Homo-oligomer: A and B are copies of this chain.
């Protein structure tokens, strides 16, 4: 047995914005025996997860499930809809938008990466009007796709995807809308069909509460149509065979069976009406985000996201004071309090840390995490304006979860 017992006692608090802690209920489901993926039982499982994941994406169209982690699904979305040399408009909301841009470049696409200057774009959601302006200028319709990140995991800003849709429509532009909701899905509200998204990319290790290892492309009819003339070489990522064979619940090559067990369980948990279903899930995360931001405010610190309408229900980025190395604080907190926090990435490395409140959480888990942050920051010599822990307690006690989300009496 692997020794991962660096942690002397008690449960480690994994409050990074993904991977999120996997509930025991899902670990148990994943321990079911691996079955023949061409045998009689598999089809039933396949149909079940394919239907379940549609509900999570709020789509009536097909969702492709890849036995690969999220980065692969980024590649799949591009490889199925585009051809070498195609022009793509990408918007910089933070580190993950930048990585996707880099990946598109490697795939021999011509990307244009727009956004606010310097670190400004890393503190807000997508500015949809900038997309609208750029598309209006593209009268030749050279741009084949617009790529945006729904929930920017590196900053804690959630973009208004419907506004991006409206921007494209206002520009009367035929570009496809590709959206990364890897960290948003199943924690932040997301409506693939209603928001007119052509491909939504997501992964397993965030709101779905699974280990990493499976990822998704939710499609629109327009995306499927585009895939027929796309010329980027592909086979593993190709939608055509997948969509065909998925009709029976089977897959063209070996699926990640044990993670599909976990996915079936995760869908049951997220959609369970006894806990408010998807709406209840979203409401819980919104409330947790508010509690955590109340703490940050009380500490006298800034959140990385400064746009009131874009605060993420998934994670909160906390900017440390000038001169403080945020990673040194994280290290101290990890070693003294067995709490993992997310690091600052790219442009904001060393300037902030991130508190995850996605996936499987509750008020006391977050109180534990905030206590660890508060004690750690004090020990690191940061002067705090007040107690964030006290503020979060006030918020959580004063704002009960909607009645139907509480336990039955």
List the interface of chain A (C-beta within 8 A of B): 1-2, 4-14, 16, 19, 21-25, 27-41, 45, 66-72, 74-75, 79, 84, 102-103, 106-108, 203, 205, 211-214, 232-236, 238, 253-259, 261, 264-265, 274-276, 280, 284, 334-340, 343, 360-365, 367-369, 371-372, 374-375, 378-379, 387, 389-390, 393, 396-397, 400, 405-409
Q: How far is the CA of A163 from the CA of B22 in the complex (A)?
A: 48
Q: How far is the CA of A236 from the CA of B66 in the complex (A)?
A: 13
Are A9 and B284 in contact, with the CB atoms below 8 A? yes
Q: How far is the CA of A102 from the CA of B68 in the complex (A)?
A: 21
> What is the distance, in angstroms, from A2's C-beta to the closest C-beta of chain B?
5
> What is the distance, in angstroms, from A397's C-beta to the closest C-beta of chain B?
4
B residues near A406, Cβ cutoff 8 Å: 8, 335-336
Are B31 and A14 in contact, with the CB atoms below 8 A? no
Nearest chain B residue, comparing its CB with the CB of A285: B9
Question: What would 16 A/B residue contacts be, using CB atoms closer than 8 Å?
Answer: A6-B408, A10-B365, A11-B365, A14-B36, A24-B24, A24-B32, A24-B33, A27-B31, A69-B255, A71-B253, A102-B235, A103-B236, A106-B238, A335-B407, A367-B371, A371-B393
Nearest chain B residue, comparing its CB with the CB of A6: B41
Q: How far is the CA of A8 from the CA of B400 in the complex (A)?
A: 14
Are B338 and A235 in contact, with the CB atoms below 8 A? no
Q: How far is the CA of A22 from the CA of B30 in the complex (A)?
A: 12
Are B2 and A45 in contact, with the CB atoms below 8 A? yes
Name the one of B7, B8, B33, B336 contacting A21, with C-beta atoms under 8 angstroms.
Answer: B33
Q: How far is the CA of A66 from the CA of B30 in the complex (A)?
A: 20
Asked whether A379 and B397 contact (CB < 8 A) given A22-B34, A45-B2, A390-B387, the answer is yes
Instruction: List 17 extra interface pairs beyond A11-B21, A375-B397, CB under 8 A.
Output: A7-B407, A8-B280, A9-B284, A21-B34, A30-B30, A30-B31, A34-B212, A36-B340, A71-B236, A72-B72, A75-B235, A232-B233, A337-B362, A337-B363, A364-B372, A367-B368, A390-B390
